[in-house]
Structures are given as C-alpha cells and as structure tokens.
Chain A
Amino acid sequence: RKEVEQDPGPFNVPEGATVAFNCTYSNSASQSFFWYRQDCRKEPKLLMSVYSSGNEDGRFTAQLNRASQYISLLIRDSKLSDSATYLCVVNKGSYIPTFGRGTSLIVHP
C-alpha cells in the first residue's frame, strides 16, 4: 500500500458545484497534514494545513480523520479558477513530507 493515496481523477464539475477529495495515509504515526494546489507546469502552493478539529478557509474546508487515516478537502461553490491538481501531503516526522500523486479537478462553465 502506498504511503499516501489519492484518486487521480479527473473530477469534472460545473461551476458552483461542491466537490470533495479524500486522501488516505498508511502511517498511523503521521503528524502533520496539508493540502497543496499545483497548476500545470508550476510549483505546488500551500492551500491549507489540516488540523485535528477541522478547519475552514473561505470556500475550502479540510478535515482529518485519524481513526480511518484519511484527510479530506471540500470545495464549495467551485470557480473556474479552482481547476488544478490538489496534492495531499503527509508529514510523518523528521519534517519530511510525503506527497500523494494528486487529484485533478476541472471546473467547467
């Protein structure tokens, strides 16, 4: 089993839709969790950290489920500009992050 797994998609949704991605991780000792956004041929950019209590930033909500070892990202009211690849990042200590392969989102008019 891979350390961090994501459904590569693509998720094809209309503008205004709500879409959710999950990411599972195998190491129960994982300590920190993040969602990054990567546009085509660009570097990843931090979207949000994921906290145990869950956190929200505008249209984006991230949650962590330690018991089931997954994190989720919910995007409400999708915009065309949300089209990108969303990378799940898990840090299992020593601050070395492990990346999922990313989930591709395409928001269409």
Chain B
Amino acid sequence: GAVVSQHPSRVICKSGTSVKIECRSLDFQATTMFWYRQFPKQSLMLMATSNEGSKATYEQGVEKDKFLINHASLTLSTLTVTSAHPEDSSFYICSARVEGRGYGYTFGSGTRLTVV
C-alpha cells in the first residue's frame, strides 16, 4: 500500500519549453505532497510543500513563478517547470506523508529532467 505514481520518469526538453510532472497517490489520500530536487551526489533538497486546495509553500530560493505547483485533489499534485533552462536539469521527486506508519514518507519514482 501507500504508492505514489510519478510520471514521466524521464524527459528531455528544449530550453524555453515547459514540462509538467505528475504525482498521484494510488491507494491513499495525500493531503500534503513534498517536491524535491536532487543533483548528482547531493541530498534531496526540498523545493516546496503543496497542500490540497491551497497554495504551495516554497522554500527560500525557489522561484514560485518558475516552478508551478498545483494540488487540486487529494490524489494528484503536479509540478510544472516553466521556461526550462539547462541548469534546471535534475532529478525531481515527490513524496507524501503516510499516516499510521510512524509518519514515514513514500516517494514517487522520480523524474529525470534534461534540458538541452
């Protein structure tokens, strides 16, 4: 149980275009979804926290107009990277808190974004 489905798993896009990443909770309701970015050999860096039905909370240094987050339902949260640049190339991963398991977190399988 407690599966988060994330897609696409891999995307290559041209500079200046936008990319949408989706995360769906398949067998539970995810009130809160965390969005992370991970560069090679570095830790996951929290970008933003999305809450169903309200605006996302962005971490310092993360441009909210560039990384658009929508959490319109209890089972779907999306991250759109707008006007992507090569420096946005990274591993993007979502995570939802799972109730009743010591408040562990379950992760999507990640999206590897390459901007060329």
Contact = CB atoms under 8 A, between A and B. Distances in A.
Interface stretch (A67-75, A76-84, A88-96): A88-96
Interface in A50-109: 51, 87, 89, 91, 95-102
Contacts of A49: 101-104
B44 A99 contact: yes
Interface stretch (B12-20, B64-72, B79-87, B108-116): B108-116
Contacts of B34: 96-97
B91 interface: yes
Given A46-B105, A49-B102, A95-B103, A41 B43 contact: no
Interface residues of B, number: 23
Contact of A101 (B32, B42, B104): B42
Interface residues of A, number: 21
Contacts of A51: 102
A87 to B, nearest CB: 7
A41 B91 contact: yes
Contacts of A42: 109-110
- Give the interface centre of B103, B104, B109 by most chain A CB atoms within 10 Å: B104
B21 interface: no
A57 B1 CA distance: 20
Interface string B22-45: 000000000010101000001110
A8 B90 CA distance: 20
A81 B97 CA distance: 27
